[in-house]
Structure 1
Amino acid sequence: MSALSRDDVAHLAGLARIDLSDVELDRMVGELGVILESVAKVQEVAAEDIEPMSHPLPLTNVTRPDVVRPSLGAEAALSGAPQQEQQRFSVPRILDED
């Protein structure tokens, strides 16, 4: 059985600004208790021999090499723009400078 009480759950719900009914509070005592027990089991593992890791599986960065390739030039990219200025798209201002 969990050391978590109904008042503890009500307090946590209040901190989280979650309005729980009495039935929901009773159900959450059990559900949060299971979560706390599961965390306690994980903490029981002998961690001295285990190297800390960021992910349970080894990850390899799968980026492609950064190679310059032919691409769309500024003139071709702006060819369909309704307005352009200094080799850039020109769009109406929507925010003031303040």
Structure 2
Amino acid sequence: MTTSDAQHPADLNAQTVSGIANLARLSLNETQSAEYAQSLNKILGMMESLKGIDTDGIEPLKSPFDHPQPLRQDVVTESNHREEYQAIAPAVQDGLYLVPRVIE
């Protein structure tokens, strides 16, 4: 999509919202379409105002925190109890629980 093809936020109207709702298989009445169009235009207007902010010289954030998050050691803390748990199961095969078929 080229810049000339892009819609300006003021171009979003109830008819456009209804068309999008139809494609998304949503049911909206005329009042709802108009309200959503107005709300979406406000959001798009805010996004346009963000484009005007000078971000030259500002490094992108890797994390919103000042310090990296500590990670726990990746070690096994519990033993494997599968055989104990499966010993009381009604049906087990090859380490898997067997259940009745629910989809035909």
Give the shorter-chain TM-score range. Answer: 0.5 to 0.7
Q: Indicate how the Cα distance of structure 1 residues 17 and 91 shifts in structure 2: closer, same or farther if over 3 A, else same.
A: closer
TM-score between both structures, scaled by the size of structure 2: 0.59
Which one of 16, 28, 38 corresponds to residue 30 of structure 1?
A: 38
Is residue 2:93 matched to residue 1:94?
A: no
Amino acid across the alignment from 1:94 = R
- Matched position secondary structure for 2:17: helix
Shift of residue 40 of structure 1? Answer: 0.9
Residue matched to 1:15: 23
Which one of 4, 10, 13 corresponds to residue 2 of structure 1?
A: 10
Q: Indicate how the Cα distance of structure 1 residues 44 and 90 shifts in structure 2: closer, same or farther if over 3 A, else same.
A: same
5+ residue gaps, structure 2, are: 1-8
5+ residue gaps, structure 1, are: none
| Paired residue total | 94
State the alpha-carbon separation in 1 of the partners of residues 91 and 21 from structure 2: 54
Residue matched to 1:49: 57
TM-score between both structures, scaled by the size of structure 1: 0.61
Q: Indicate how the Cα distance of structure 1 residues 13 and 70 shifts in structure 2: closer, same or farther if over 3 A, else same.
A: closer
Q: Indicate how the Cα distance of structure 1 residues 47 and 78 shifts in structure 2: closer, same or farther if over 3 A, else same.
A: same
Q: Percent identity?
A: 23
- Matched position secondary structure for 1:2: helix
Question: CA offsets, 1:2-21, max 9 Å, x none?
Answer: 33223322222222222221
